[in-house]
Amino acid sequence: MTKASKPTFTSAPAHNIDALENFIVKLTGEHLTPEDRAELEQAMAEDEGDDPDDLGEQVLDEGELVAYQDWDSGGPGGGAGRVSVYRFRDQYYIFNDVGMDGPFADFAQAAKSSGVLVETDATVEIWITDD
């Protein structure tokens, strides 16, 4: 599975701040003070950490791969792929062609939800960590 790269910002993009300020002006008739603008920039920068995509990247970067299943139906297009289960901070997350699912409290729940241990005619390989 390849991770799509996305831009990261150390502070909120200025055009988003400007759009919010324009909205505030329409509502209140007043512009932001420099102090209010700085506080808004800080709040927007902190909110970026709540992005679910950031959690997915964190799970892939810092988590432990505990199981996967490679499959290939032999068909054209989306006929092959991988389902992976990662352990991260004592919870389990599923990654597949659709995206991420979870968290799950234990491996059994993640395995059942993902089907990672279910062997079918399309199954090429199933791998599970020794832990």
Claim to verify: residue 45 and residue 65 sit in the same structural domain? no
**pTM of the predicted protein model:** 0.60
Q: Structural domain of residue 121, as residue ranges?
A: 54-128
Same domain for 86 and 122?
A: yes
Is 90 a domain residue? yes
Q: What pLDDT is recorded for position 2?
A: 37
Residues 99 and 122 in one domain: yes
Same domain? 110 vs 97: yes
Give a yes or no: residue 1 inside a domain.
no
| φ, ψ for residue 9, nearest 5 deg | -125, 140
Domain membership flag for residue 3: no
Structural domain count of the chain = 2
In a domain, residue 8? The reply is no
pLDDT tens series, the chain, 131 aa: 333 333 333 344 455 677 777 777 777 888 878 888 788 777 766 655 555 568 888 999 999 999 999 999 887 766 788 999 999 999 999 998 888 999 999 999 999 999 999 999 899 999 999 76
44 and 90 assigned to the same domain: no
pLDDT at 15: 52
Q: What is the pLDDT of residue 8?
A: 37
Asked if 45 and 58 sit in the same domain, the reply is no
Asked if 33 and 72 sit in the same domain, the reply is no
Residues 77 and 34 reside in one and the same domain = no
pLDDT reported for residue 37:
79
- 128, with CB counted inside 10 A (0-12, 13-18, 19+), is middle
Q: What is the pLDDT of residue 39?
A: 80
Distances from the Cα of 12 to the Cα of 8, 17, 19, angstroms: 10, 7, 12
Same domain assignment for residues 118 and 86: yes
